[in-house]
Structure 1
Amino acid sequence: MTASPRASVVMTVFRDFRFFDEAVASVLAQDFPELELIIVDDGNDRDDLFAAVAARDPRIRILHCPRNIGTAAAANLGIAAARSGLIVRLDADDAAEPERVGRLVAEFERDPGLGLLGSAVQIVDEEQRRGPVVRMPETDLEIRWTILFHNPFYHSAAAFRRELFEAVGGYREEELVSQDHYLWFSLLPLCRAGNLPEPLTRYRINRQGLTVRNNTRPRNRTHAIREALWADLGLVYDLHDDTLAGAVSAFLRGQKVRPEMLAPAWEVVERMLAVFLASPRARADAAAIEDGRRLEARLRAQRAAAA
C-alpha cells in the first residue's frame, strides 16, 4: 500500500456489478501510482467478491456496510477513511481515463485556491458504445453562472479537497440522488472551481443507475439550490416550470431549442446575465471581468446563430 497517497479515489457500490470490474481496473491503470482506492460495499452481502477485489492491489481498501445506507452516507464513510487530502470520486458504473488522477493532482498542487475540479466526459452506453464528448463550464465564473440553472459538474468527473468537504459537513445524507449538486452548492462559497477541457471520465448512460431510476421531475430535488442562489443576486427564483427550465438549460448547453421556446428562454438568460455580470463575484478582479465578457459574447453569438 502507498505509504502516503496523494489522492484517494472513493467509490461506492450497491447491487449493480456489471461495470464494477471496469471501474476498478481503470483506477489501477492510472498513470499516477500514488493513490489509494477506497471501495465502500453498501450492504451487498458479497464478501467473496470484495475479498477478490481487495487481493488485486495493495492500494485497494474495502469498507463494508452491514446494510444499505445509501450513496451519500456510504461516500461519507469512505471519505472519512481516506488518507489523502484530495478526494477523487468515481461511480461504480463509470471509468477513469489513465491520465485522470495525475491531471487532477497537478492542477490542485498548482493552484492552492482551487477546491473543486471536474472535467469534460466521454459518454458511453451499456454496450460500451461511445457517444458524444460533453464539455462542461471551465472557468470559476462560468461554473457559478451555470449552477444558477443546472448542475455544472458530472459527479464521476469531480475531485475536491477533503478539508473543504469536512468544513461543509460532507454529503447531505438525506439527499438520496442529488447529494453531489448540494455539495457543489456548499463548496463554492469556500473556494475556486474549474472543469478541465479533456474528457477524463467515461460516463455511462445506465438504465439501472440512480439518476435514471429517479428521473421523474428531477429538478424538483434541487429547486432549493437555485432559490438560494437567485436570492443572493436579489432575485426571486421563478423557473419552476420544467418546460421553460429545460429550454433554458438546453440553450446554455448549446443544444437545439424548440423554435417557440427560444424567445422565452433567451429572455430568462438575458435578464439573469445582466444581474449576474453586475454582481461582486463577476467584478472581483480583471480575470473575472474578462471571463464575464467572454461568457456574454458566447451567449449572444449562440442567440444570433439560433435566430
Structure 2
Amino acid sequence: MSRPLGGGGEPFSLLLPVYRRDSPAFLRRAFASATADQTRPPAEVVLVRDGPVPPALAAVLEELTATSTAPVVRVDLPDNLGLAVALEAGLARCAHELVARMDADDVSLPHRFAVQLPLLDGEVDTCDVVGSALEEFSGGAADDDEGAGASAGETTLAVRTPPAGHDAIAVRARFHSPFNHPTVVYRRSAVARAGGYRDLPLLEDYWLFTRMIATGAKAANVAEPLVRYRVGAGAYARRGGLRLLRSELALQRHLVAEGFTTPAQCARNVLVRGGYRAVPQGLRRLAYRAVFTRRPPSS
C-alpha cells in the first residue's frame, strides 16, 4: 500500500527508547535520520532512557537534547525495566495523538514519515497503525555524516515485507507479527484502547498488535522499505533460547485465552514457533531467511 508524499498534516511525536547496550554513534545516526533528515519531521522527540547508561551514551543523550531540530522530552527511568515499561512511560509523555516508533540503532529513510503519516491523518479512510517493509543490513560505520542510505562497508542482507492490507494483516497476526515494530506509526488512543504495551520479553510488540486488531484498529503496511534495520552478530541468537521460548509459550496462552486464536491455531503456533525458538541457531537463520525475507535486487 502506498500514498503520495505528504508535507503538512497533523503533528506527531517520535518515541525512541535507549538502554545501556546501545551504541552512542548508532544512536546519533538513528536520531538524525528520524528528525533533521526527514522531509516531514516530528514535532517532538520523546527520548526514554531505560535505566543507567555508560558515560559515552549519556553524553550523546545530552548532546541530542541540546542540539535537536525538534524539541526533546527526556524520560529517565532510574532502573532498566524493559522495553514495554519504557515505551509506556514514553507514550504517557507524548504530546500528540500520532506517535512514530524508532529504535536507537536503525536508520529511517528521509521520506519515511511523509509516506506513512498521510495514512493516519487523512480526512477519510484513515488507519490506526501503519508499518512498512524494512531492509536488514550489517557492517559499516556510524559516522555522523553517513546519512540515511547505505554507507561504506554496509551490506544489505534482505528485505522484510509484511502484508499490506488490513485483512491480510489480520490473517498474518494469527501466526506471526504483522508489523516490523521499528517501522510503525500509530494512534496513541488505539494503543491505549488495546491496553498498551504489556511486559512480555522480546514479544511485547506482537502481543500489542494482536490486541489492537482485536479492539478494532484499522491497520496497513507500506510495501516500500522505509527503515534500515541493523542486524548485529547476535541477531539470530536473540530469536531463540530458553528465555524467548518461555515468552513464546506465554504469548500463545494469552492469544488463545483472549479469543484471538483458536486452540488449533495455538497448537500449531506452539509446534512451529516454539520449535523455531528451540532449534540450533544455524537452522533458525535458514528458516527465518526462507519464510520472512527476500533478497534485495542485485545492482
Q: TM-score range by the shorter chain?
A: 0.7 to 0.9
Structure 1 pair 144–212 and aligned structure 2 pair: CA distance change class (3 A): same
Paired positions, count:
248
Shift of 1:252: 6.2
1:106-125 aligned at under 5 Å gives the runs 106-110=118-122, 111=124, 113-125=126-138
Q: Is the 8 A contact 1:10 1:90 kept in 2?
A: yes
Equivalent position of 1:12 in the other structure = 17
Equivalent position of 1:175 in the other structure = 200
Structure 1 spans left out of the alignment, 5+ residues: 256-307
Runs of 4+ that moved beyond 4 A: 243-255
Partners of 2:266 and 2:21 in 1: CA distance: 37
Partners of 1:176 and 1:200 in 2: CA distance: 26
Equivalent position of 1:222 in the other structure = 251
Q: SS of the counterpart of 1:202?
A: strand
AA aligned opposite 1:87: V
1:109-148 aligned at under 5 Å gives the runs 109-110=121-122, 111=124, 113-127=126-140, 128-148=154-174
Q: SS of the counterpart of 2:20?
A: coil
TM-score for the superposition, normalised by structure 2: 0.74
Structure 1 pair 236–98 and aligned structure 2 pair: CA distance change class (3 A): closer
Q: Is the 8 A contact 2:10 2:121 kept in 1?
A: no
Equivalent position of 2:68 in the other structure = 57
AA aligned opposite 2:211: S
Q: Is the 8 A contact 2:253 2:266 kept in 1?
A: no
Partners of 1:254 and 1:55 in 2: CA distance: 39
Shift of 1:129: 1.8
Shift of 1:71: 1.0
Partners of 1:236 and 1:106 in 2: CA distance: 35
Tell me which of 98, 103, 109 is aligned to 1:91: 103
Structure 1 pair 171–141 and aligned structure 2 pair: CA distance change class (3 A): same
Q: Structure with the greater relative contact order (CA < 8 A, sep ≥ 6): 1 or 2?
A: 2
Structure 1 pair 43–230 and aligned structure 2 pair: CA distance change class (3 A): closer
Equivalent position of 2:29 in the other structure = 22
Partners of 1:16 and 1:57 in 2: CA distance: 22
AA aligned opposite 1:73: V
AA aligned opposite 1:84: H
Partners of 1:178 and 1:43 in 2: CA distance: 20
Q: SS of the counterpart of 1:166?
A: helix
Tell me which of 81, 100, 103 is aligned to 1:69: 81
Q: SS of the counterpart of 1:124?
A: strand
Q: Is the 8 A contact 1:50 1:62 kept in 2?
A: no
Q: Is the 8 A contact 1:149 1:226 kept in 2?
A: no
Q: Is the 8 A contact 2:14 2:99 kept in 1?
A: yes
Q: Is the 8 A contact 2:174 2:265 kept in 1?
A: no
Partners of 2:291 and 2:65 in 1: CA distance: 43
Partners of 2:293 and 2:237 in 1: CA distance: 23
Partners of 1:160 and 1:56 in 2: CA distance: 26
Structure 2 spans left out of the alignment, 5+ residues: 1-8, 141-153, 277-285, 295-299
Shift of 1:65: 1.1
Q: Which moved more, 1:125-134 or 1:72-81?
A: 125-134
Structure 1 pair 254–71 and aligned structure 2 pair: CA distance change class (3 A): closer
Partners of 1:96 and 1:154 in 2: CA distance: 13
Tell me which of 163, 170, 195 is aligned to 2:221: 195
Shift of 1:16: 2.4
Q: Which moved more, 1:95-104 or 1:4-13?
A: 4-13
Equivalent position of 1:38 in the other structure = 46
Q: SS of the counterpart of 1:20?
A: helix
TM-score for the superposition, normalised by structure 1: 0.72
Q: SS of the counterpart of 1:130?
A: strand
Structure 1 pair 236–11 and aligned structure 2 pair: CA distance change class (3 A): closer
Shift of 1:38: 1.2
Q: Is the 8 A contact 1:119 1:135 kept in 2?
A: yes
1:273-288 aligned at under 5 Å gives the runs none
Shift of 1:176: 2.3
Deviations 1:18-42 (CA, angstroms, capped at 9, x unpaired): 2211111111211113432211111
Q: Which moved more, 1:242-251 or 1:98-107?
A: 242-251
AA aligned opposite 2:131: G
Shift of 1:100: 0.8
